[in-house]
Amino acid sequence: MISVGRAPSCEQDCAGVWYNTFVPSPDIVDECGNCVVRTVVRLFNCTQDCAGVWGASAEDDCKRCLPAGVVGTPACVPDCAGTFYLEGTEPPFNADLDPCGQCTNTVGYNSTSSSLDCKGQYTTTLTSPPTAPSWTPAGTAGSPT
């Protein structure tokens, strides 16, 4: 019995397709590590970032180009509307700031019944003390309460 093996010039491409190395592989690995058909070249979402790295995003929320893992100075922070800006500069949207600089559109902030003091603590001001509700026991309709 003779064992028949593959020719040394027969290889599998990234998709598992066997081909002869004398011709180009039907599938290739793009710059982002995706296996694609040779005619496609790369997947649509495989792009270069601002630093020239394929498949990465070196841009922070303030649209600054930074190397991976580097935090920019000044910090990039969101305003009350979720728009990012550089810390220490005027927020692009600050209509929802109270006099302490706190966002009034945060959960738990209610300007009619409670307020956030400048230490970040919510306080509630009652205009009058709460009163117990009046009630009439069953079967005593018309009785004084």
What's the pLDDT tens digit per position in 73-108? 888 888 877 888 888 887 776 656 776 666 776 666
Residue whose token pair is 């027969």: 10
Beta bridge partners of 48: 54
DSSP E strands in the chain: the ranges are 10-12, 18-20, 27-29, 35-37, 76-78, 84-86, 114-116, 122-124
Residues 6+ apart with CB under 8 A from 124: 113, 114
pLDDT above 50 (res 117): yes
Residue 132: φ, ψ to 5°: -75, 140
Q: Give this prediction's pTM.
A: 0.43
| Domain boundaries along the sequence of the chain | 1-45, 59-119
What's the pLDDT tens digit per position in 32-86? 999 999 888 788 888 888 888 888 888 888 888 887 777 778 888 888 778 888 8
